Chain A
Amino acid sequence: EVQLVESGGGLVQPGGSLRLSCAASGFTFSSHWMSWLRQAPGKGLEWVAHTNQDGSQKYYVDSVKGRFTISRDNAKNSLYLQMNSLRADDTAVYYCARAMASNSNYWGQGTLVTVSS
């Protein structure tokens, strides 16, 4: 069974840092593009970052460039999102997803990040 389990969310002060993790199981992790997306409370979906199978290609939405870093460890079947210089408007549920917009698409259940003093 395919599983994506996010962790690492929580309450952080503005300017702080968090590292999100996504543990993958039930499929060949190293064969898929992986993405982070987010959804602010009561709002729509936003694609944050994604990376190719070996991590050599990375793309970010402009609002997080220079602050967030996506990475993966294929030996550990894990995807990460290092988030620095967090702002109030980064508050959202963060989802890990496999193979966006393809028939292999799968989402985790998300982890909540709250940026507040």
Chain B
Amino acid sequence: EIVLTQSPATLSLSPGERATLSCRASQSVSSYLAWYQQKPGQAPRLLIYDASNRATGIPARFSGSGSGTDFTLTISSLEPEDFALYYCHQHSNWPHTFGGGTKVEIK
């Protein structure tokens, strides 16, 4: 099973600041990596698929990069609605797995 390790566990930032979230895979997942955002009481929402492609309707301030084992989700300038939980997810190998999540909280 491929283990995804997200860091940091919590990111404390102010609106307008840049957020950089990391996801590291225990073995290569090529570009088969996605990022999801989840707010309390809501289902997750896809932000990025195939490592760097923004999903439909996702603002341009969200960007993804990386391949192989190291991936990054960047939020260029945090908006109030961006404070949430973020998960990375690999679908290279079964079982498909998720990282433990990074909470982006207001500083």
Which residues of A sit under 8 angstroms from B56, Cβ to Cβ?
Answer: 103
Residues of B within 8 A of A (CB): 32, 34, 36, 38, 42-46, 49-50, 53, 55-56, 87, 89, 91, 94-101
The number of inter-chain residue pairs (CB within 8 angstroms) is 51
Give Cα A95–Cα B53 distance, bound, in whole angstroms. Answer: 24
Contacting pair B49 A105 (CB below 8 A)? yes
Give Cα A61–Cα B93 distance, bound, in whole angstroms. Answer: 12
| A interface, size bucket | 10 to 19
Contacting pair B55 A44 (CB below 8 A)? no
Interface membership of A27, Cβ < 8 A = no
Q: Which residue of B lies closest to A49 (CB)?
A: B95
Q: Which residue of A lies closest to B100 (CB)?
A: A44
Contacting pair A45 B43 (CB below 8 A)? no
Give Cα A116–Cα B42 distance, bound, in whole angstroms. Answer: 24
Q: Could you write out 7 A-B pairs with CB less than 8 Å apart?
A: A45-B98, A47-B98, A59-B94, A59-B95, A105-B55, A109-B42, A110-B43
Which residues of B sit under 8 angstroms from A61, Cβ to Cβ?
Answer: 95
